Every structure is written in C-alpha cells, then in structure tokens.
C-alpha cells in the first residue's frame, strides 16, 4: 500500500474524492434545509426543529471535512517527508 500511496496521482485522486464527498453532503443538506424552510406543509415547531438540525449537521460536516483534509495533508506530508 505504501508503494501505491507514494504515487502523486493517487494522492491527488484521494484528495479530490474527499473534497467531492464533503461538497456533495453539504449541498444535499443545504437543499434539504431550503425545502424545509419553504415548505408550508409541516407544523411550525417540527419544521423549525428540522431546520436547526440541518444547520447543525452542516456545521458538523464542515468540521469533519476540515479534520479529514488536515489528516490527509499530515499523512501525505509524512509519506513525502523523506523525499524532500
């Protein structure tokens, strides 16, 4: 695995997959929040609760995404440190 991970293209592909996954999750939650804010069908208290939960999940996704990118950068640096 270490030999495969040393390939820069493989590292770039993994980074793009991490970033794309985080972006997709964030956009889906934003869409859900938009639908909940504009839907007059549900009870007001239920809608407010779901909107606040969606906002919390968006923040958590961004925090977890930041941690994942940081860990990825640290791991990539530790692998490539010997080559510098």
Q: What is the pLDDT of residues 3-61, one digit of tens each?
A: 766 677 777 788 888 888 888 888 888 888 788 777 766 667 777 777 788 888 888 88
Q: Which two tokens stand for residue 10?
A: 């493989």
pLDDT of residue 54: 82
pLDDT of residue 22: 85
Task: Of 78, 79, 62, 75, give the one whose Cα is nearest residue 22.
Answer: 62
pLDDT of residue 12: 79
pLDDT of residue 75: 80
Cβ(33)–Cβ(51) under 8 Å?
A: yes
pLDDT of residue 19: 83
Question: Would you give the DSSP letter of residue 1?
Answer: -
pLDDT of residue 41: 61
Q: How far apart are CA 33 and CA 55, in angstroms?
A: 8
The neighbour count for residue 33, using CB atoms within 10 Å, is 18
């Amino acid at each position: 695995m270490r030999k495969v991970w040393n390939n820069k293209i493989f590292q770039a592909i993994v980074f793009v997959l991490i970033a794309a996954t985080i972006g997709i999750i964030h956009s889906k939650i934003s869409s859900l929040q938009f639908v909940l804010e504009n839907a007059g069908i549900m009870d007001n208290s239920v809608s407010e609760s779901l909107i606040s939960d969606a906002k919390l999940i968006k923040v958590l996704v961004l925090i977890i995404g930041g941690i994942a990118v940081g860990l990825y950068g640290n791991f990539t640096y530790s692998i490539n440190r010997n080559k510098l």
